[in-house]
């Protein structure tokens, strides 16, 4: 055989062998991965070939499926009170994917989860009847928060401190997921995606912002846990006026100087004395502040409720002593979500025990058999019972005598902490208004955190709790109502 022909034959043979190896690799090892790929349109067509399972609130489905007679899809997702529950459900779209509970439990909801299948289904690869997701949401608390936030930009979270159940999760502006469920909803998607998707952003769990003076609850816990003080009623000896350590910058408080001079911790919380809490953080140092913050959930990058919440932040890198002092009042690089501050309030109300927050109680099959339960979440003691009791006592003073008065509920014990977070150079951006609180009555208890963004109200009104506290009050009242 001609030498050139022989070489060409060997080369062609090698090419054929390479193709056989590649085909074998794809079919034997990559086939399932390719079949499961989110970009595989066959999966999307199969998902919407039949009605989906439902997301349940208080025994009632807030989702559904509607028959469609167009294109490749048999059904599309529908939502009841879509704007009200969007921060919980997320959306399931033929064209734009899935988010939040719709995304986390997509296999259960479309019947492809292996736990739903009988042995015969497994053998034939048949899709089983879809399952359902049961939430912990209390519809009355959810509605109370949603209504109270109308006309405001912000978010609120309510938690049962004893169980960790999220009773409400509200974010405003919200959106109606019904607008983007079909493959033909491109115009609505473009509108909702404008301004970096602001209308679809879940402020309650996905956008940490400076918590302002509500973070003083964390600073107070750190001070009491580390023995700086043993009582909330003894004078602290901290002066007003006060200069931030390592600087020549005076630090002002809401109360006029020298109202915060040598006050007790109780009075410091009621008047929101920046000098006291900045000095507490300075004396404690960054490490002890960091330890207390992380016990309460800050810097937790795996906080699943069960969908992932963005981690709230306490700075862990090296920072200067003036910056440590600023963290004590919830400024510098401290950032928190309403979920995080509700967790702080919940731990204080629950005698120092933090129960992992969750928005799902059970996942079931079509017959109601439990596939997955979240009813026994992890619990950890994050502060002593005595520390929690003292902080509750001080928080009650804020509501009874201080800026938290709008949160009072007749016949209930209510405690809270107002907060204002300055933003921008020389406060060029309107501040954030915060309120972190708890309430209990008749054997029920609830913790609520509210954040209001871009207020056009002046600083003193925000610090006085005139914006955020009324929202919390309505949610807490709904939670305690028989």
- 364 located within any domain: no
Q: Provide the pLDDT for residue 117.
A: 81
Q: Provide the pLDDT for residue 406.
A: 96
Vertex 446: Cα angle to 225 and 156 (nearest 5): 95
Asked if the peptide bond before residue 241 counts as cis, ω within 30 degrees of 0, the response is yes
Is the pLDDT at 5 greater than 80, yes or no? Answer: no
- 69 located within any domain: no
Rg of the Cα atoms in the chain: 27
- 405 located within any domain: yes
Beta strands in 100-200 (DSSP E): 132-135, 153-159, 166-172
Q: How many domains does the chain have?
A: 1
470: Cβ–Cβ under 8 A, 6 or more apart, which residues?
148, 406, 407
Between residues 334 and 456, the one the model is more confident about:
334
Q: How confident is the model at residue 202 (pLDDT cuts 50, 70, 90)?
A: very high
Q: Tell me the three state secondary structure of residue 313.
A: strand
Look up the CATH number of the domain holding residue 225. 3.40.710.10
CA 328 to the chain's CA centroid: 22
- 418 located within any domain: yes
Q: Provide the pLDDT for residue 19.
A: 81
- pLDDT tens string 280-332: 999 999 999 999 999 999 999 999 999 999 999 999 989 999 999 999 999 99
- 85 located within any domain: no
Domain that holds residue 252: 212-358+378-480
The pTM of this model reads 0.90
Range list of H helices, 274-428:
274-284, 286-295, 321-327, 338-349, 385-401
Contact 432, 420 (CB under 8 A): yes
Contact 446, 473 (CB under 8 A): no
Is the pLDDT at 28 greater than 70, yes or no? Answer: no
Q: Provide the pLDDT for residue 210.
A: 94
- 51 located within any domain: no
Asked if the peptide bond before residue 235 counts as cis, ω within 30 degrees of 0, the response is no
- 32 located within any domain: no
- pLDDT tens string 142-157: 999 999 999 999 999 9
Q: Provide the pLDDT for residue 34.
A: 47
- Structure tokens belonging to residue 95: 């064209």
- 162 located within any domain: no
- pLDDT tens string 418-439: 998 876 666 667 789 999 999 9
Name the average pLDDT for the chain: 91
Q: Provide the pLDDT for residue 482.
A: 65
Between residues 334 and 71, the one the model is more confident about:
334
- pLDDT tens string 99-139: 999 999 999 999 999 898 877 666 566 778 999 999 999 99
Q: How confident is the model at residue 69 (pLDDT cuts 50, 70, 90)?
A: confident
Q: Tell me the three state secondary structure of residue 474.
A: helix
- pLDDT tens string 361-390: 999 999 999 999 999 999 999 999 999 999
């Amino acid at each position: 055989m001609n030498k050139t022909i022989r070489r060409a034959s060997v080369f062609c043979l090698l090419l054929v062998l390479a193709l056989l190896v590649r085909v074998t690799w794809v079919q034997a090892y990559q086939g399932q991965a390719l079949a499961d790929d989110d970009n595989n349109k066959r999966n999307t067509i199969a998902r919407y070939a039949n009605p989906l399972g439902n997301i349940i609130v208080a025994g009632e489905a807030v989702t559904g499926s509607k028959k469609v007679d167009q294109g490749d899809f048999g059904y599309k997702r529908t939502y009841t009170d879509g704007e009200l529950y969007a921060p919980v459900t997320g959306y399931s779209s033929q064209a734009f994917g899935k988010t939040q509970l719709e995304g986390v439990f997509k296999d259960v909801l479309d019947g492809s989860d292996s736990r739903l299948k009988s042995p015969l289904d497994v053998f034939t690869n048949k899709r089983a009847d879809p399952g359902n997701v049961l939430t912990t949401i209390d519809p009355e608390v959810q509605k109370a928060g949603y209504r109270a936030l109308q006309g405001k930009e912000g978010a609120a979270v309510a938690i049962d401190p004893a169980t960790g159940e999220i009773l409400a999760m509200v974010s405003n502006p919200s959106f109606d997921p019904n607008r983007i469920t079909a493959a033909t909803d491109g115009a609505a998607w473009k509108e909702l995606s404008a301004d970096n998707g602001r209308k679809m952003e879940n402020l309650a769990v996905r956008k940490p912002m400076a918590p302002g003076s509500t973070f003083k609850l964390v600073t107070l816990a750190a001070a009491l846990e580390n023995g700086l003080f043993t009582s909330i009623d003894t004078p602290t000896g901290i002066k007003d006026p006060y200069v931030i350590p390592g600087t020549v910058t005076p630090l002002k408080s809401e109360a006029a100087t020298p109202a915060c001079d040598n006050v007790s911790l109780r009075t410091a919380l009621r008047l929101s004395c920046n000098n006291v809490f900045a000095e507490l953080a300075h004396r404690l140092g960054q490490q002890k502040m960091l330890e207390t913050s992380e016990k309460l959930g800050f810097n937790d990058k795996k906080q699943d409720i069960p969908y992932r919440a963005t981690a709230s932040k306490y700075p862990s890198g090296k920072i200067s002593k003036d910056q440590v002092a600023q963290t004590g009042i919830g400024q510098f690089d401290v950032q928190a979500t309403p979920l995080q501050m509700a967790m702080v309030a919940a731990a204080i109300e629950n005698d120092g025990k933090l129960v992992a927050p969750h928005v799902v109680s059970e996942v079931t099959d079509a017959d109601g058999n439990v596939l997955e339960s979240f009813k026994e979440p992890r619990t950890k003691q994050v502060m002593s019972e005595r520390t929690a009791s003292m902080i509750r006592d001080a928080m009650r003073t804020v509501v009874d005598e201080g800026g938290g008065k709008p949160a009072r509920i007749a016949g209930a014990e209510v405690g809270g902490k107002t907060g204002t977070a300055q933003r921008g150079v020389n406060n060029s951006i309107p501040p954030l208004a915060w309120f972190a609180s708890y309430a209990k009555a008749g054997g029920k208890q609830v913790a609520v955190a509210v954040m209001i963004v871009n207020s056009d109200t002046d600083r003193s009104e925000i610090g006085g709790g005139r914006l955020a506290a009324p929202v919390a009050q309505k949610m807490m009242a709904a939670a305690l109502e028989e």
